[in-house]
Chains A and B, each alone.
Chain A
Amino acid sequence: MTQTAIAEHADEHHPTSFVSKYIWSQDHKVIAIQYSITAIFVGLVALVLSGLMRLQLGFPDQFSFINPESYLQFVTMHGMIMVVYLLTALLLGGFGNYLIPLMIGARDMVFPLLNMLSYWTYLLSVIVLLASFFVPGGPTGAGWTLYPPQAILPGTPGADWGILLMLISLGIFIVAFTMGGLNYVCTILQARTKGMTLMRMPLTIWGIFVATVMGLLAFPALLVSAIMMMMDKVVGTSFFMPAIISMGETLDHTGGSPILFQHLFWFFGHPEVYIVALPAFGIVSDILATHARKNIFGYRMMVWAIVVIGLLSFVVWAHHMYVSGMNPYFGFFFATTTLIIAVPTALKVYNWILTLWKGNIQLTVPMLFAIGFIFTFIHGGLSGLFLGNVVIDLPLSDTYFVVGHFHMVMGLSPILVLYAALYHWFPKVTGRMLHTGLGKIHFWTTLVGAYSVFLPMHYLGILGLPRRYFGMAGTDYIPESAQLLNANITVAAIIVAVVQLVFIVNVIISLRSGQKAPANPWGATTLEWQTPDNPPKHGNWGPEAPVVYRWAYDFSVPGAKDDFIPQNVPNSAVEVTDAAAFAEAGK
């Protein structure tokens, strides 16, 4: 029904030269790999930055290359890179690109050229961002939230060049995201293969789909605020700038509102949390079902939860601003919407665990990461109930509790899912398995290490340790032991950071000499594992596109011989051991 004419003729356009195959490629799989490698590279930069900032916090004043200026620059660039340039880009640009056409049975994205432009534009935004490390004054140190007025005034690192490059880079990123995002949405709506109804789509695709729609609605708010701030900085407008005495000098600005920026930023920023979370939710659902050999529990509710979370996430943004000085009566509304969003989120957690319940749990490396995610996400979700409840935010806002919370819920959790996904789909992408032993070392150290980094931070926050402080000396209410704890956190953080090299090594070793992967090593039902070639070639499906007969979760169907039935296998082709039971399950 939605088979496109373009797809039928895909064979005629196979690229031939190295450049058109791997550089200026329009193949969604190559673009996905380009996106992934770039995102992981820039993510490693951000990882190093976090190590540097932890060195200062754990062992203050020991390292001459860290001063208040560079510390704030590390904090800012770490945050922005991780949220936007790693998580968003890797989940949507990387996994979205790779999985959408394969999972819905399409031959490619509907706009392959646009897809290619999306990657190269993204790469440009990364280059502009990294360039800010080399301009006079260095990158901006305004915090990843880039709040004006301080982001563009002296007294903040990088207030001249750094902030401009940051804003320009964000603008370019948003252009790239919009090109990619429109493509994903159109492809999912238009290019599904025969039989792939919306309610038969794997949850991965649902997560990516809703997240992309959200991104298309949310990123423009960031774009306009970036443009407005740039105008305040360069042309002297006063969108966000009231009358100000900066460093003793009266500025020409008047009448602007710094809080307006915060509203725009968080109108983007809160959906952004779910732009990262929803694809992760979808991916983890599919990995849990596959490796537990059991259907996802409550598929329809899972789909609706994704949609409802997506909608609600646009009416909760000001819970980041309870203590911003906005009208305090807003607190009633935003606390209520924020806590309501916890209901569908909690249901998703229940359904993941109920998917494992009565399953046949295979403790593969991707499964371990997925289970680790459930644990850290429960923790991060529950600590969110503190911060969302407006009055509890009064003591905890802007402390290490916030740092602990969001790292648990949108740092560690999505990254565990990303690793689960990388271990899960690596055989499909490369044709080789990742090494299991190295994978387990990587998993255990990351889970236990990162948990012992972020759990204690909550308690430092309750104690009242403010975030974004270069040094804590000179406070009476903070006991000496807090410094000891901080030192321990730093040691754990460095260990976790170093262990990520194990993953890189695993990838390199496995690419060169890893065990050859069978076509469907995990016994998965979704279409990407049913390609005629492994890894799939350009056009994905050979001469005939697949036809879908069932949902993505026919695992352990009673009466069937195998414990999984791929989506493209009709009932008539299923090997049955107990025909009556099989017919009964079909109802």
Chain B
Amino acid sequence: MAIAIIILLLIIGTVIFHFISPWYFTPLASNWSAIDNTVELTFWITGIVFVAVNLFLVYVLFRYRSRPGLKAEYEPENKKLEGWLTLATTIGIAAMLAPGLYVWGQFVKPPDNAIQVEAVGQQWHWSYRFPGEDGVLGKVDTRLVREDNPFGIDPTDPAGQDDILIFSNELVLPLDQPVKMLLRSKDVLHNFTVPQFRVKMDMVPGISSFLWFTPTRTGVFDLMCEELCGIGHYAMRGRVVVKEPDEFKRWLARQVTFAQTQSRSAGDAALGRAQYMVCAACHGPQGEGNEGLHAPRLAGQDLWYLQRQLKNYQHGVRGTTEGDVFGGQMIAMANLVSDEQSMQHLLAYIGSLPEPARAKADGDLRRGQQLYRNCMHCHGEQAEGSFHMNAPRLAGLEPWYLSRQIVYFRDRVRGGHPDDFYGAQMSLLVQSLRSEEDIDDLVAYINSLQPAQLARRD
């Protein structure tokens, strides 16, 4: 008896939960309303079957519960009933499968007017490529990936020269324009998912996969990796921004082509020396840093990282969040090297500075080593940093600076700006540090690391 009532309550509860649940599809932002409709249809068919079959179960449990004098019937088979049930089930299945396959037929054939955009996945970042004026994406090969060619574009393929490269986790797309996303990966499996677009597809190293959609609503949408890709999986976030076609064109025009990235000239350290005099006031004549002035050490840091930070300051991505007083001071300074050439000179000079002696840090190195396991995949076993992982060198940074940045990331003082992707990622990642003690131990361990060689990255 109780079982009949409880199952009845579970049925009612399930139906109520379905209708009042605030957790349902996010508002659609693409052409794929047909997918939502197929889901809706499936909900109705399966929902009716769920309620009907279970209600019959409840009835049977109630009606034929054991009572004195009740005897079961003996009926081994009922061919007619079984035949009808088979038929009804088959019809119900076909009613769901047919529309499903019809919509799938649309998905496998992108429309002819779709533009091609490539998304490249890597642990744990995104980058994108547009075909340029010729409308053709140049050939790529993972084995061609270098620091000056992160996409692995074949330099001998003329189609690749005008490819437009987006070195950011943010992709901008035009409204109402069908887009065929070509997907590939440089390392492990990833997945391209924008929940509001409904479609998703894995990104597989070695092959190119695709999906297509037409954005139907301007706005900013989270891009998620939905294929497990290692410990940073949950922090592999990107963003798709859908803009009016005019705005999109202006944005695209500001991006660099592959040819442009190949013709950048290196800076001259001798010319950069003069520019560095301004920096020396706080960061020290040898770039050794000054805790009293809240200026971190620059000597020994990866130059690509310093460049990114200078640009972040220039564009208000760093130093503008509430609480980041010292970052705020850097904005004016960074604007002193606002032209590309002088920035390259400055970086070249910083790159020529010798690495200063280490400071001391107290902490439990064994615990620190354990905690560092979550950092080492990007920052390197010796904290030497990795251009390919977008992870700066940590070895040699002063302990006070490291702890302060960790706390900043944790409290979103740093990484709070919507365009600071790598900072936002660090905010997610430092959450595995639960206490001040954790931070001290980790910093002490990082401080104890001595990368074998000073990798110079210009």
Q: Which A residues have a C-beta under 8 Å from some C-beta of B?
A: 60-61, 63-64, 67-69, 72, 141-143, 147, 149-150, 153-157, 242-248, 250, 254-259, 292-295, 297-301, 323-325, 328-329, 331-332, 335-336, 339-340, 342-343, 346-347, 349-351, 353-354, 356-363, 368, 371-372, 374-375, 378-379, 382-383, 385-386, 389-392, 394-395, 397-399, 444, 447-448, 451, 455-456, 459-460, 462-464, 466-477, 479, 481-482, 485, 553, 555-558, 563, 585
List of A residues within 8 angstroms of B209 by Cβ: 325
The interface size bin for chain B is 35 or more
Kindly state whether residue B64 has any CB partner on chain A within 8 Å: yes
Residue with the greatest number of chain B CB neighbours at <10 A, chosen from A256, A462, A479, A482: A462
A259 and B207 form a contact (CB under 8 A) = yes
B108 and A329 form a contact (CB under 8 A) = yes
Q: Which B residues have a C-beta under 8 Å from some C-beta of A?
A: 1-3, 6-7, 10, 14, 17-18, 21-26, 32, 34-35, 38-39, 42, 46, 49-50, 53-54, 56-57, 60-61, 64-66, 70-78, 81-82, 85-86, 89-90, 93, 96-97, 100-101, 103-105, 107-108, 122-123, 141-143, 145, 183, 186-189, 191, 193, 195-196, 198-207, 209, 220-222, 224-235, 237, 371, 373-374, 377-378, 380, 386-389, 424, 427-429, 431-432, 434-435, 438
Of all A-B residue pairs in the complex, the 6 with the closest CB atoms, nearest first, are A242-B206, A464-B195, A248-B388, A325-B209, A155-B230, A150-B188
* A471 contact from B204, B205, B424, B428, Cβ within 8 A: B428
List of B residues within 8 angstroms of A466 by Cβ: 193, 224-226
CA of A476 to CA of B428, assembled, Å? 14
Given contacts A142-B228, A248-B388, A357-B60, 10 further A-B contacts (CB under 8 A): A69-B373, A156-B230, A243-B142, A256-B206, A363-B2, A378-B50, A459-B23, A462-B39, A473-B431, A477-B221
Quote the shortest CB–CB distance from A50 to chain B (angstroms): 17
List of B residues within 8 angstroms of A295 by Cβ: 74-76
Quote the shortest CB–CB distance from A302 to chain B (angstroms): 10
List of A residues within 8 angstroms of B188 by Cβ: 149-150, 153, 155-156, 244, 246
CA of A448 to CA of B5, assembled, Å? 12
A375 and B65 form a contact (CB under 8 A) = no
Counted as pairs of residues, one from A and one from B, with CB atoms less than 8 Å apart, the total is: 367
CA of A363 to CA of B1, assembled, Å? 8
List of B residues within 8 angstroms of A300 by Cβ: 77
CA of A398 to CA of B233, assembled, Å? 13
Residue with the greatest number of chain A CB neighbours at <10 A, chosen from B90, B93, B108: B93
CA of A455 to CA of B17, assembled, Å? 9
* A248 contact from B104, B205, B222, B389, Cβ within 8 A: B389
Give 13 A-B contacts (CB < 8 Å), ordered by A residue: A68-B232, A147-B228, A155-B123, A155-B229, A243-B143, A247-B386, A335-B97, A363-B3, A375-B7, A398-B193, A481-B23, A556-B71, A556-B72
List of B residues within 8 angstroms of A323 by Cβ: 191, 200-202
List of A residues within 8 angstroms of B438 by Cβ: 64
List of A residues within 8 angstroms of B49 by Cβ: 378, 382
A361 and B65 form a contact (CB under 8 A) = yes
CA of A390 to CA of B101, assembled, Å? 7
Given contacts A256-B206, A392-B39, contact A371 B142 (CB under 8 A): no
List of B residues within 8 angstroms of A390 by Cβ: 100-101, 104
CA of A148 to CA of B396, assembled, Å? 35
Quote the shortest CB–CB distance from A586 to chain B (angstroms): 11
List of A residues within 8 angstroms of B82 by Cβ: 298, 301, 347, 350-351
CA of A372 to CA of B204, assembled, Å? 41
CA of A255 to CA of B46, assembled, Å? 44
CA of A479 to CA of B183, assembled, Å? 29
Quote the shortest CB–CB distance from A289 to chain B (angstroms): 10
CA of A292 to CA of B64, assembled, Å? 9
List of A residues within 8 angstroms of B14 by Cβ: 379, 455
B25 and A354 form a contact (CB under 8 A) = no
List of B residues within 8 angstroms of A246 by Cβ: 123, 187-188
Given contacts A155-B377, A259-B204, A357-B64, contact A394 B198 (CB under 8 A): yes
Quote the shortest CB–CB distance from B13 to chain A (angstroms): 8
Residue with the greatest number of chain B CB neighbours at <10 A, chosen from A67, A257, A356, A382: A67
A451 and B72 form a contact (CB under 8 A) = no
B198 and A398 form a contact (CB under 8 A) = no
A359 and B64 form a contact (CB under 8 A) = yes
Given contacts A155-B232, A557-B74, contact A477 B104 (CB under 8 A): no
Quote the shortest CB–CB distance from A244 to chain B (angstroms): 5
* A247 contact from B54, B235, B389, Cβ within 8 A: B389
* B374 contact from A68, A363, A391, A468, Cβ within 8 A: A68
Quote the shortest CB–CB distance from A15 to chain B (angstroms): 42
Quote the shortest CB–CB distance from B119 to chain A (angstroms): 13
B207 and A325 form a contact (CB under 8 A) = yes
CA of A555 to CA of B6, assembled, Å? 28
List of A residues within 8 angstroms of B201 by Cβ: 323, 325
Q: Which residue of A lies closest to B94 (CB)?
A: A339
B427 and A474 form a contact (CB under 8 A) = yes
B72 and A339 form a contact (CB under 8 A) = no
CA of A248 to CA of B390, assembled, Å? 10
List of A residues within 8 angstroms of B1 by Cβ: 363
List of B residues within 8 angstroms of A143 by Cβ: 228
List of B residues within 8 angstroms of A375 by Cβ: 7, 10, 54, 57
* A258 contact from B96, B205, B220, Cβ within 8 A: B205
B206 and A257 form a contact (CB under 8 A) = yes
B72 and A359 form a contact (CB under 8 A) = yes
List of B residues within 8 angstroms of A147 by Cβ: 189, 227-228
Given contacts A335-B101, A336-B101, contact A474 B189 (CB under 8 A): no
B35 and A394 form a contact (CB under 8 A) = yes
List of B residues within 8 angstroms of A328 by Cβ: 104, 107-108
